[in-house]
Amino acid sequence: MPLSTQSQTEGDNYVLVASLDNVRNLSNILKAITFKDHAIFNATPNGLKVTVEDSKCLQANAFIQAEIFQEFTIKEDSVGFQVNLTVLLDCPTIFGGSTVPGVATALRMCYNGYGYPLTLFLEEGGVVTVCKVNTQEPEEPIDFEFCSTNVTNKVILQSESLKEAFSELDMTSEVLQITMSPSQPYFRLSTFGNSGNAHYDYPKDSDMMELFQCTKTQTRYKMSLLKPSTKALALSCKVSVRTDSRGFLSLQYLVRNDDGQICFVEYYCCPDEEVEEE
């Protein structure tokens, strides 16, 4: 079956077409949320949202606005599908994934609609690779009902400061405890592992702290759920940490891609146990 890469007739049937001169502007941010095999893609005229969930307690979302793409055409208000993200991410590096400056793999991503595979056309140096990844019916992402009116604590930090802490987190601790308070220790990350307890303190007047609005709370989250967020933290330059009256955690990461454009990744996590607000 002859396979034309920019077929006119096939082009008419696409409900979603998104193009990038540099596929890394998509693949890098998706790698930051690949802790489970399956991802829910949702495209709207605003751009692309990719969601990965774990055991109904953790949700990661990556947002890539339409403006990031060199071309972003969508024929419906909302286009959704589910794919195996691990398999999908094997494709952008098909030419070796080198980071030689000036050499980039270009991407044209096309979707014909329900029942069709997601087709990636990848091109580098005149060679074209066509990947067709099977799609499934998208599950409905959980709505964590996190809204700004219920936010009880908000902290915005430069990622640098958290990166060290997250890379050193004691993985023998089952939980990560986050303490926020208008008085000392202000913002503290704690672990309780085999070798003892560890605390990372971030004073509110530190250079790294851009915003500090806290009431007093102390909540614990399962370490296994939060550990994957380290990937998003590593890519980001800024992070906002918010908790609401239920103890739900929202981490929002500001990520700059290869071209300096801004994308967002957010993580929502349920608390491990309710702790009374003092």
Partner 1 sequence: MKFRAKIIDVGCLNHFTRVVNTISKLTKTCILRLTPNNLYFVLSGKVASGGVGMWCELSQANFFDEYQLEGVAPDANEICLEVTPENLSRALRTSQNAKCVKIKLTKKHCPCLTLVAELPTLSSVSRVVTHDIPVDVIPRRLWHDFKEPRMPDFDVSIYLPPLKTMKNVVDRMKNLSNFLVMEANLNGEMNLKIETDLVSVTTHFKDLGNPPWGDDGSQGRSRSRDPEVMAHTRVDIRKLQQFLMGQQVNPSKAMCNIVHKRIIHLILLHEDVSLQYFIPAVA
Work out whether 94 is an interface residue with partner 1 (CB under 8 A): yes
The number of angstroms, rounded, from the C-alpha of 24 to the middle of its chain's C-alpha atoms is 14
Place of tokens 């003092």: 278
Looking at the Cβ atoms of 84 and 230, the one nearer to partner 1 is 84
Q: How far is the CB of 70 from partner 1 (least distance, A)?
A: 21
- Rg, the chain, Cα only: 21
Contact stretch for partner 1 (CB under 8 A) within 65-73, 90-98, 146-154, 219-227: 90-98
Q: Which of 3, 6, 148, 184 binds partner 1 (CB under 8 A)?
A: 3
Q: Which of 67, 71, 76, 90 binds partner 1 (CB under 8 A)?
A: 90
- How many residues touch partner 1 under the rule CB under 8 A: the total is 22
The CA-atom distances, in angstroms, between 58 and each of 13, 163, 190, 208, 229 are 35, 20, 20, 27, 10
Q: How far is the CB of 39 from partner 1 (least distance, A)?
A: 13
Work out whether 93 is an interface residue with partner 1 (CB under 8 A): yes
Cβ atoms 141, 51 nearer than 8 A: yes
Q: HSE (CB half, 13 Å, CA atoms) of 7?
A: 13
Q: How far is the CB of 234 from partner 1 (least distance, A)?
A: 23
Work out whether 132 is an interface residue with partner 1 (CB under 8 A): yes
Q: 3-state DSSP call for residue 30?
A: helix
Contact stretch for partner 1 (CB under 8 A) within 130-138, 168-176, 233-241, 245-253: 130-138
Contact stretch for partner 1 (CB under 8 A) within 19-27, 125-133, 149-157, 237-245: 125-133
C-beta atoms surrounding 97 within 10 Å: 11
Q: Which of 44, 65, 73, 84 binds partner 1 (CB under 8 A)?
A: 84
Cβ atoms 60, 85 nearer than 8 A: no
- The tokens describing 234, both together, are 């590593």
Work out whether 125 is an interface residue with partner 1 (CB under 8 A): yes
Contact stretch for partner 1 (CB under 8 A) within 57-65, 132-140, 204-212, 216-224: 132-140
Q: 3-state DSSP call for residue 75?
A: coil
- CA-based nearest residue to 155, from 126, 135, 185, 129: 185
